[in-house]
Structure 1
Amino acid sequence: MREDLQVMLEANPAHRATLDGAVEMRALAEAVNRLAEHHHALLERVEARVAEAKRAVEDEKNRLAALISELAQGVLACNLEGQILLYNNRARQLLTSNHAASGSGGGLVGLGRSVFGVIDRPLIVHALDTIHAQLAQKRPHPVARFVTTTPSGQLVRVLVVPVLGNEIVTGFVMTLDDVTRPVEQGGRRDALLQSITEGSRAALGSIRAAVETLQSFPDMPPEQQKRFIGVISQETHRLSERVEGAIREFSDAMKAQWVMEDMLGEDLVAAACRRIEARLGLAAKIDAVMPDLWVRVDSFALVQVLSYLAARLKEDFGLREVRFRLEGDRRLAHLDLVWRGAPLSAETVFAWESEPLTAGGEDIPLTVKDVIERHGGEMWYQRDRPAQESYFRLLIPASVPETIGFRLPNLAGSRPEYYDFDLFSQQPSSPALDQRKLTELKYTVFDTETTGLEPSAGDEIVSIGAVRIVNGRLLLHEAFDQLVDPRRPMSPASIKVTGIDPSLLQGQPPIESVLPAFHRFCEDSVLVAHNAAFDMRFLQMKESSAGVKFTQPVLDTLLLSIIIHPNQETHSLEAIAARLGVNVVGRHTALGDAIVTGEVFLRMIPLLAERGIHTLREAREASQRTYYARIRY
C-alpha cells in the first residue's frame, strides 16, 4: 500500500492501490483510491490552467525554435563551461564530420555536450579573453572573431558574442559561416590576376618596343620590318592565349560556386516536370521513380538541363510529351528523359551538349556538358527499338544524407529540442561523479537487440538504440539507432521477438564499425539500461575488436525498480512502465525500448529521493545490494 501511494504522489497520479488482502485492507484501498481520484481531478484542473497560461510562451518558444532551426547560418550557444545549450541543424552539419559519426575522430554536437570537442579550446578561450578586455574598456558591442577548420576540413568563420547577466558574462553565442569556397575562390582569383599581370607585362613591353621602333624608323628595310611585325604577331598571340586561359579559369571558378544539395530524387523529377509544363507547354509525366532515393545535385542547374533538352525536342521534332524514370543505388542514380519516336543523330546530340542552355526564354552561359561534368556524371543518348522509344540517360551522384548511428529522428508532433537554457545555471562539472545528484547528471539510455540470449556462446548484436537525457529531459531528437550485420544467423525466437528480418541486416556495418560510433555518442555520460548486465556483456565482449572500452558508470532500471518497489511481484519493463504511467511504444526495438527505459528512469528519480537516494554513488550502492545484481551473463 505504501509503494502504491508513493507512485501516486511522485510518478503516476493515475495509478491506483491494489484491492487485495483482508476486508479491512480492501476497504482502506477503496478509500485511498477515492481520495486519489479527487486528488487526480484537482491536479488535472491545475495542469489545464497552467497549460493555458503557458500556451502563449510555448508559441513564442516554438517560433524561436523554428527560426533558429531553419537558419542557413550555424548557431551555437554555450555556458562558460563550454556545454552546448542551443544549436541548430546547420551548426550540427558543419561541425559533425563523417569520421565523428563513425567513431574514428572528432566530436558530436548535442545539448549538454562540450563545444571543445568540435572547436579547439584555445580559440574560444582567446575569443572570450578578447571580449572580457572589450567589456573592461566599456565597449558597447563586444565581439570576437576567428577562423577555424571543422572536423570535415571546411573553413568556418566564427563570430562570438557574450551572454550577459547582471553585467557578468554567463555564456556565449557563436555564429558559424562556411567560408571554404569563398577563400578558395579568392585564392584562385588572386593567382589568376597575378598570372595575367606578370604574363602580360612582358608581352606588352615587347609589343610596345616593336611598335615604337617601327614608328621611329619608317624607312626601315622590309626584312627588319617583317621581323618586328612578327614579334608583334607572336606576342599578341601569346597574350590572346593567356587571356583565353584566364577566361576559362574564371568560368571554372564560377562553376565552383554552384551549391550541391541532398534532395529526394522524386522531388527533383517533380520540379523538372513542373518547369517543363509551365515554361514549354509540353506534357511531362513520371514513368517510375525509386522511392527514398536521395541524390546530391545542383537542382537548379539540372532542371535547366532537362528543360533545355525537352525544349530542343519540342522545337526540332515537334514532340508533345516527355517522360521520366529514376532508379539507382547508394552510389549512382540513373535519370532518364524518355520520348517516343524522333531518333537523334550523333551530330545532333553533340551539338545539344555543347551549346549554351536556352529554355523557356532564359539564356544561361553554360552547356549541358558543363553541368554534367560539375556533377561528376555522364550523359548519353540511347534508342530502345523494341519499345520504339529514345532516351537521354543522366548519371548523377546518389547520396545517403544520414551518417552511421547518430541521427535526428522525425517524430511526429514535436519540434527538435535544440536548446536548453537551463544549462546556463548548471554548476561546473566535477571529477567526483559519484557525489553528483542524480538530477544533475547526463545519461545515455540504451538497449540492444541480439541474435540470441547467450553472448558467451557466440550470439551477436543486431541493433543498438540509444537516447540522451540532459538536465532532466529526454532528448528524443538526439538518438542513436543502428542495425548491425551479426555475420551469423538469428535464432527463430529472436526474429519473432525483435521483428527484424535477417535480410535487413545484409549490407549493414559490422559491430567493429558501430561500437566506436556508439562509444563516442555516450561519452561523458552515465549509461542506463533495463537489465543492464545483459547489454553490457554484449558490449564488453566486443571492446577489444572495436578498440574501445566502456568505463562509464552504469545504472539498471531493473535493480532500481526493486529498490523502489521491493514488494511488487514483477519488474519487467512493461510492468514498471504500467505502474509509472509510461506509454510503451516500439517495444522490442532497440530505440523504442531505450525511449521507454528513459521515461521510466526519469519517473524513478523522485521515488529514489523518497528513499533517501540522491546521488549516483547512493544509487549504485543500493543497486549492488539487490538480489538481481548477482546475475552474470
Structure 2
Amino acid sequence: MNARIRFIVSVIVLGMLMTGPFLITAVLIWADAQPAEQTLLIQLIAPHLSLGALMTTFGFIVGLLVIRYLFRQYVQGLLKMAESLRLMLSANRNFRVTPEGPPEVQLLAQATNDLAQQRDGLMDDVDAQIAAAKSSVEEEKNRLAALMSELAQAVVVCNRDGRILLYNSRARLQFSGLAQAGTALASGALIGLGRSIFSILERNQIDHALEVVRQRLHKGAAAAIANFITTARGGQLLRVQLVPVLSSRDESQQREMSGYVLTVENITRSLEQESRRDQVLQSLTDGSRGCLANIRVAVGNLMDYPDMELEIRERFVSIISDEVVRMSQRLDQTMTEFADSLKTRWPLEDVLGIDLIAAAQRRIEARLKLPSKMEEIDEGLWLRAESFSLVFSICFLASRLVDHYQIKELRFRLLPFGKLAYLDLIWAGHAMSSETFYTWETDAMQVGNESSPLSLRDVIDRHGGEIWYDREKAAHRAFFRFVLPVVPPENMAVGESVDVGDVRPEYYDFDLFHFRDQSADLDRPLSDLVYTVFDTETTGLEPAAGDEIIQIGALRIVNGRLLRNENFNQLVDPERFLRPEGTRIHGITDDMVRGQPHIDVVLPAFHDFCSDTVLVAHNAAFDMRFLQMKEERTGVAFSQPVLDTLLLSGVLHANQDSHQLDCIAERLGVSVTGRHSALGDACTTGEVFLKMLPLLAQIGIVTLRQALEASEKTYFARVKY
C-alpha cells in the first residue's frame, strides 16, 4: 500500500471515528423510544443540528490537518529517508541524510549518518586492500594497452558472436577511413565496443575462416590460423588474418574457442601499384622486343658479311650501341620508378585438401541440396590456396551444373601430380561446349543470393593454377579439373600438435567474451542491453512551432561502461537564425552552425550510430518529439525503446523535491561537466543512468519491460510536447 492510499484510509477512519459513535448512539436511542418520545427528541434536537454539524465539521478539519502534519513528518519523512539510504548504499557513498522533521526522526537520521560514516571507513580499508591486490593486474593491463596502441597493424578482438570487445587506435583510424557519407560525420566510425564485426567484414568469409580454424584445432595443428581477402565498403580490399582465442581448460577438457583476434591490412593501394607495375613491365617487354630485333639484325649482318666496308660496319655497331643504351635507359627508368614498392601477392595459406573438399561439400549440400561423394582422395595432400574464394568457385560451378544440366550428384577427386594437385569435380550427364565453359569462366560468380566480384578465371589466376573441362567417355562422365599448387614437404604441418605450455599467453580476460548478441527484447535484463545516451540542443522549446535541432550529442553504454571515446557530436545548420536567449544558454551562435550539415544528413548518421540499441535521454519526450517531426523529411524513424532518466527518477525518488538533471546528478554523486552542450548533457545523463540501474534492481525493476511500465505510471509521463 503506497503513501497516498494510506493517507486516504486515515482520513476515512478519522471521519468514521468522529461521526460513527454519535450516529450509532442516535440510532439506538431512536429505536428504543416511544412515538411520543421520538417527537419530543425531534423538537429538542432539530434547532441545534446546524451547530452540531458545524462543530463536527470544524473538528474533522482540525483532525485532518493534524493527520496531514503527522503524515508528512513521519510517513513521508521516513520514505524520503529510505530513498536517501538507498542512495548511500548503492549510488553515492558521500550522500548523507539531512536531519529534519520531528526530534525522533532527526535522531534516526543522525544515527543513520553515523552508521554510514563507519561503513565508509570499512569500505575504504577494503578498497585499499583490493587496490593493492589489483596493482599487478592493472600494470599488465596498461602494458597491453600501450602495446596495442603502438602496433602498426589494425587489431580487433571479437567474441564468438562477432561482437567487438577490443580494438586499437590503428583499427579505429583504418575503419574510420572506410566510413562513408553520413557515417563519417561527428567522429562516427564503423567500429566500436559491442558492435558487430559483420557490419565491416563479410560474415560468410569469417564463418568460413572459423570453420578452417576449428578443423585445424580438432586435428591438433600447431598453426590454427586462417587468412582471407575481403572487400569493405567503397570497394577497399582488406587482407585479414584470424587467430583463435582459446578458453582455459582442465587436463580432462578440450580447449574451446571463446573468440578470435583479427589483424587487418588495407592492401588496395598495394594491389593498384602491382597492377600498374605489371602494365609498365608489359610495356617494357613489348618495347624491348623491337630493340632486340634491331640488335639481332645488326649482329646477323656483321656475321654474314665479315668483309663489309668499315663505314657500314661502324653504322651497324652504332645501331647495336644505340639500341643497347635505349634498353638500358628503359630498364633504369623502370627500376627507379618501382624500386621502393613491395610486391603484394594474393595471400595463400596451407590447407589440407580433404578439409577444403569437406567445406565445399557442406556448402553445396546446404545451399543446393545436391548430394556429393569423395573418390580417390589423397588425405595427406596439402594445398596452397585461399580457401574461401576456392570453395566459392566450386559452389559456383556446382550451381551452374544444377541450373543448366540438372545433375543429381557431384563427386570429388584429389590426386597429386608432381608439384601440383588435381582437384576434379565429376558428374554424370550431358557434354558441354567450350563456349559455355568460357562464359562460366569469365562471368562474375554468384551462388543464390551470394555474389562475388571475382570470376572463376580471376580465382585461378591468383592461385597461379589452371582449370579445364574434360570427359571420361568410357564412364559417360565429365569433370572440371582444378590444377593447384601443393605445399612443399618441408612446410607441411602433418603430425604437429599444440603444446599447451608454448601457446600465446591468454591475457584477454574481458566480460565481453561472454557477451551475446543483443536485441531490443523487452524481457532482457537491463544490465545486458546496449544503450545510446543522447541529448539535443535546439533553437527553442516548441518543435511544432518551427524550432529546429542545432546539435546532437550521444555516447554508447556497453556492458555497464560509458564509452566516452565512442561518441557522436555534430552541429546542425537549422536553416534559420538562432534566438539570443537560446544562445545565452547553450553558447551556440549563428556563425557556428552556418555551413554545418543539414538535419537530413545528420539524422541518418545518428540513426546508424544508435542502431540496435536502447535510447536513453533526460526528458526524452522533448528530444524524441524533435526527431519525430523530421521523420517525413529524412525518411528516418527511431523505433527502438526509449528510457527517460526523468521518469526513472520519479520511480526511484518519488518523495524528492526536484527531478531536474542537476539535482539528480547531485543526489547520485555525479559530477556535471559541459552543461547545456549536447555531448556534455548526454555524458551526465549516461552517468546518472548507470547509477540508477542498481537502485532499480533493489525495487524489483530488472528488465526493460518493467522499467518502461514503471515509467509510464509516473506523473511526469503525462507531459506532452
Q: TM-score, normalised by structure 1?
A: 0.70
For 1:598 and 1:145, locate their aligned partners in 2 and report how far apart those are by CA, in whole Å. Answer: 40
Displacement of 1:82: 0.3
Contact 2:520/2:640 (CA < 8 Å) preserved in 1?
no
Contact 1:443/1:527 (CA < 8 Å) preserved in 2?
yes
Q: 2:691 aligns with which of 603, 606, 630?
A: 603
| C-alpha distance 234-420 of structure 1, shift in aligned 2 (>3 A) | farther
The residue number in structure 2 matching 1:482 is 570
Aligned partner letter, 2:516: Q
Equivalent positions of 1:358-397 (< 5 A) are none
The residue number in structure 1 matching 2:141 is 61
Pairing 1:211–2:299 present: yes
Aligned partner letter, 1:115: I
| C-alpha distance 61-435 of structure 1, shift in aligned 2 (>3 A) | same
For 2:125 and 2:179, locate their aligned partners in 1 and report how far apart those are by CA, in whole Å. Answer: 51
Displacement of 1:489: 1.6
| Structure with more of its chain in helix, by fraction | 2
- Per mean C-alpha deviation after superposition, the further-off stretch among 577-586 and 205-214 is 205-214
For 1:15 and 1:114, locate their aligned partners in 2 and report how far apart those are by CA, in whole Å. Answer: 39
Pairing 1:49–2:129 present: yes
Contact 2:155/2:262 (CA < 8 Å) preserved in 1?
yes
Equivalent positions of 1:105-120 (< 5 A) are 108-120=190-202
- Per mean C-alpha deviation after superposition, the further-off stretch among 584-593 and 242-251 is 242-251
Of all paired residues, the percent bearing the same amino acid is: 52
Note the alpha carbon deviations across 1:314-372, whole angstroms, 9 max, x for none.
Answer: xxxxxxxxxxxxxxxxxxxxxxxxxxxxxxxxxxxxxxxxxxxxxxxxxxxxxxxxxxx
Note the alpha carbon deviations across 1:219-275, whole angstroms, 9 max, x for none.
Answer: 45899x58x947x76686567556545544554445889xxxxxxxxxxxxxxxxxx
Contact 2:152/2:170 (CA < 8 Å) preserved in 1?
yes
Contact 2:163/2:517 (CA < 8 Å) preserved in 1?
no
The residue number in structure 2 matching 1:505 is 593
The residue number in structure 2 matching 1:156 is 238
- 2:233 alignment partner, SS class: coil
Note the alpha carbon deviations across 1:515-539, whole angstroms, 9 max, x for none.
Answer: 1221111111111000011111112
- 2:110 alignment partner, SS class: helix
For 1:100 and 1:615, locate their aligned partners in 2 and report how far apart those are by CA, in whole Å. Answer: 36
The residue number in structure 1 matching 2:256 is 168
| C-alpha distance 112-621 of structure 1, shift in aligned 2 (>3 A) | same
- 1:487 alignment partner, SS class: coil
Displacement of 1:31: 1.2
Displacement of 1:111: 0.3
Contact 2:539/2:549 (CA < 8 Å) preserved in 1?
yes
Contact 1:200/1:239 (CA < 8 Å) preserved in 2?
no
For 1:66 and 1:509, locate their aligned partners in 2 and report how far apart those are by CA, in whole Å. Answer: 36
Equivalent positions of 1:3-152 (< 5 A) are 3-97=83-177, 99-100=179-180, 102-103=182-183, 108-152=190-234
Aligned partner letter, 1:140: A
Pairing 1:200–2:282 present: no
Contact 2:520/2:614 (CA < 8 Å) preserved in 1?
no
For 1:463 and 1:256, locate their aligned partners in 2 and report how far apart those are by CA, in whole Å. Answer: 45
The residue number in structure 2 matching 1:427 is 516
Q: TM-score, normalised by structure 2?
A: 0.61
Aligned partner letter, 1:464: I
- 1:103 alignment partner, SS class: helix
Note the alpha carbon deviations across 1:391-430, whole angstroms, 9 max, x for none.
Answer: xxxxxxxxxxxxxxxxxxxxxxxxxxxx98211012344x
Displacement of 1:445: 0.5
Contact 1:97/1:152 (CA < 8 Å) preserved in 2?
no
For 2:520 and 2:611, locate their aligned partners in 1 and report how far apart those are by CA, in whole Å. Answer: 16
- 1:85 alignment partner, SS class: strand
The residue number in structure 2 matching 1:445 is 533
Contact 2:298/2:320 (CA < 8 Å) preserved in 1?
no
For 1:41 and 1:438, locate their aligned partners in 2 and report how far apart those are by CA, in whole Å. Answer: 31
Contact 2:548/2:626 (CA < 8 Å) preserved in 1?
yes
The total of aligned residue pairs comes to: 468
Contact 1:107/1:520 (CA < 8 Å) preserved in 2?
no
For 1:464 and 1:171, locate their aligned partners in 2 and report how far apart those are by CA, in whole Å. Answer: 35
Contact 1:96/1:151 (CA < 8 Å) preserved in 2?
no
The residue number in structure 1 matching 2:430 is none
Displacement of 1:470: 0.4
Which consecutive residues of structure 2, in runs of 5 or more, have no partner in the other structure? 1-80, 250-254, 343-507
Displacement of 1:103: 3.0
Equivalent positions of 1:545-560 (< 5 A) are 545-560=633-648
Contact 1:108/1:118 (CA < 8 Å) preserved in 2?
yes
Aligned partner letter, 1:125: D
- 2:246 alignment partner, SS class: strand
| C-alpha distance 573-134 of structure 1, shift in aligned 2 (>3 A) | same
| C-alpha distance 147-553 of structure 1, shift in aligned 2 (>3 A) | same
The residue number in structure 1 matching 2:626 is 538
Aligned partner letter, 1:118: I
- 1:94 alignment partner, SS class: helix
Report the RMSD for the aligned CA atoms in angstroms: 2.5
For 2:675 and 2:91, locate their aligned partners in 1 and report how far apart those are by CA, in whole Å. Answer: 21
- Per mean C-alpha deviation after superposition, the further-off stretch among 43-52 and 571-580 is 43-52
Displacement of 1:576: 0.6
Note the alpha carbon deviations across 1:518-562, whole angstroms, 9 max, x for none.
Answer: 111111111100001111111222233233221111100000000
- Per mean C-alpha deviation after superposition, the further-off stretch among 184-193 and 132-141 is 184-193
Contact 1:192/1:246 (CA < 8 Å) preserved in 2?
no
| C-alpha distance 547-243 of structure 1, shift in aligned 2 (>3 A) | farther
Aligned partner letter, 1:22: P
Aligned partner letter, 2:99: L
Contact 2:298/2:319 (CA < 8 Å) preserved in 1?
no
Equivalent positions of 1:232-631 (< 5 A) are 240-241=325-326, 244-245=329-330, 247-248=332-333, 250-253=335-338, 421-429=510-518, 431=519, 433-631=521-719
- 1:588 alignment partner, SS class: coil
Aligned partner letter, 1:451: T
Aligned partner letter, 1:546: T
Contact 1:95/1:151 (CA < 8 Å) preserved in 2?
no
Displacement of 1:185: 2.6
For 1:609 and 1:471, locate their aligned partners in 2 and report how far apart those are by CA, in whole Å. Answer: 16
The residue number in structure 1 matching 2:720 is 632
- 1:452 alignment partner, SS class: coil
- The structure number with the bigger radius of gyration is 2
Aligned partner letter, 1:129: E
- Per mean C-alpha deviation after superposition, the further-off stretch among 141-150 and 90-99 is 90-99
| C-alpha distance 112-578 of structure 1, shift in aligned 2 (>3 A) | same
Contact 2:176/2:184 (CA < 8 Å) preserved in 1?
no
- 1:59 alignment partner, SS class: helix
For 1:222 and 1:34, locate their aligned partners in 2 and report how far apart those are by CA, in whole Å. Answer: 119
- 1:102 alignment partner, SS class: helix
The residue number in structure 1 matching 2:464 is none
The residue number in structure 2 matching 1:411 is none
Contact 1:530/1:556 (CA < 8 Å) preserved in 2?
yes
The residue number in structure 1 matching 2:491 is none
| C-alpha distance 424-218 of structure 1, shift in aligned 2 (>3 A) | same
Which consecutive residues of structure 1, in runs of 5 or more, have no partner in the other structure? 258-418
For 1:595 and 1:480, locate their aligned partners in 2 and report how far apart those are by CA, in whole Å. Answer: 11
For 1:455 and 1:610, locate their aligned partners in 2 and report how far apart those are by CA, in whole Å. Answer: 37
Q: 1:191 aligns with which of 279, 290, 294?
A: 279
- 1:474 alignment partner, SS class: strand
| C-alpha distance 182-427 of structure 1, shift in aligned 2 (>3 A) | closer
- 1:434 alignment partner, SS class: coil
